[in-house]
Amino acid sequence: MYTGIFTLLQAFFDICRLRLGPQELPASPFLLAVTLLFYTVCGIGLALITIPPFQATLSGITETILVALLTVVLLRVRSMPERWIQSLTALAGTGIILSLIALPLSLWLHELRAAEADIRVPGLLLFALVVWNVVIMAHILRHALSTSFGIGLLLAVGYLWIIVSTLNALFPVMV
Per-residue model confidence as pLDDT tens digits over 95-109: 999 999 999 999 999
Q: What is the pLDDT of residues 10-32, one digit of tens each?
A: 999 999 999 999 999 999 999 99
Q: In the prediction, which pLDDT does 121 show?
A: 97
Residue 175: pLDDT over 60: no
Q: What are 48-85's pLDDT values in tens digits?
A: 999 999 999 999 999 999 999 999 999 999 999 999 99
Long-range contacts of 37-44 (CB under 8 A, 24+ apart): 38/92, 38/96, 39/64, 39/67, 39/92, 39/93, 39/95, 39/96, 39/99, 40/64, 42/95, 42/96, 42/99, 42/100, 42/103, 43/95, 43/99
Q: Report pLDDT for 167.
A: 95
Q: In this prediction, what percent of the chain has a pLDDT beyond 70?
A: 98
Residue 174 confidence (pLDDT): 64
Considering the entire predicted model, what is its pTM? 0.94
